[in-house]
Amino acid sequence: MAACRKIGIAGTTAQEIMLLEHLVYSTAIAIVLGTLYRRYTGRDHAWLVVASAYVPDLDIVADGLLQRIGITVMVHGSPIRHGNFHNAAVMLAYAVFAALLLHPAGVRLVDSFFFAAAGFGAHLFEDALVYKGGYAFFWPLSNQHYGIGAFEYTRDWYGVANAEVLIVGVIALAGALVFWRAWEKRCWK
């Protein structure tokens, strides 16, 4: 059982990072969204959901990287901490940034905005499912921390993931694959 490290959300013990779980859940969401979006628009940039699912956790390394180049960013009077990027304001800013960045590469603004926001939002939802104390998801509108806490998170699966969370994610991924296969088979007729 791995212990959480103290990285401070208002002096509390922060949550462990769910690397494998975010991959599984975001892939399931990407399959479903990509399938439906392609059906109605003819375009599919679902890869962006998976890539964007890790963006909220950049707050873990942001302060250290910025400090190395001589920049100090304060959030609520403290250096950037884990959880500071876990909110709707950063999600919207990131989705706009991704849309503007990918547009010159030929990705429509609305497509990249949608898939980037979906991936970022998937991360927030996954964290809410696991952490009861959660994060201030609706900042700057509210500093209230929200979370569902449906699972107690400890890395009990070979030290890399939580077995219970991972099993639910694998079931969701299998369901997404069944949905995709059924949808594709229906559309090919």
- For 55, the domain range is 19-184
- Do the domain assignments include residue 4? no
Half-sphere exposure of 33 (CA within 13 A, CB side): 22
Q: Is residue 189 domain-resident? A: no
13 assigned to some structural domain: no
Count of structural domains within the chain: 1
Domain assignment of residue 5, yes or no: no
**9 assigned to some structural domain:** no
Q: How many residues does the chain have?
A: 189
Between strands 78-79 and 74-75, the pairing is antiparallel
As a whole number of angstroms, the longest Cα–Cα distance in the chain is 60
The residues that bridge with 78 in the sheet, in sequence order, are 75
Taking only the tens of pLDDT, the chain with its 189 residues reads 333 333 333 333 345 678 889 999 999 999 999 999 998 999 989 999 999 999 999 888 888 888 889 888 887 777 878 888 899 999 999 999 999 999 999 999 999 999 999 999 999 999 888 888 888 888 888 888 888 888 888 888 877 788 888 999 999 999 999 999 998 877 655
Distance CA 24, CA 92 (A): 23
Is 162 within a domain? Answer: yes
pTM of the prediction?
A: 0.83
Burial of 109 (0-12, 13-18, 19+ CB in 10 A): middle
Phi-psi region of 85 (alpha: psi -120 to 50; beta: other; left: phi over 0): alpha
What is the distance between the alpha carbons of residues 41 and 34, in angstroms, rounded to a whole number?
A: 10
- Residue whose token pair is 């403290």: 78
**106 within a domain of the structure (yes/no):** yes
Q: For residue 28, tell me if it sits in a domain.
A: yes
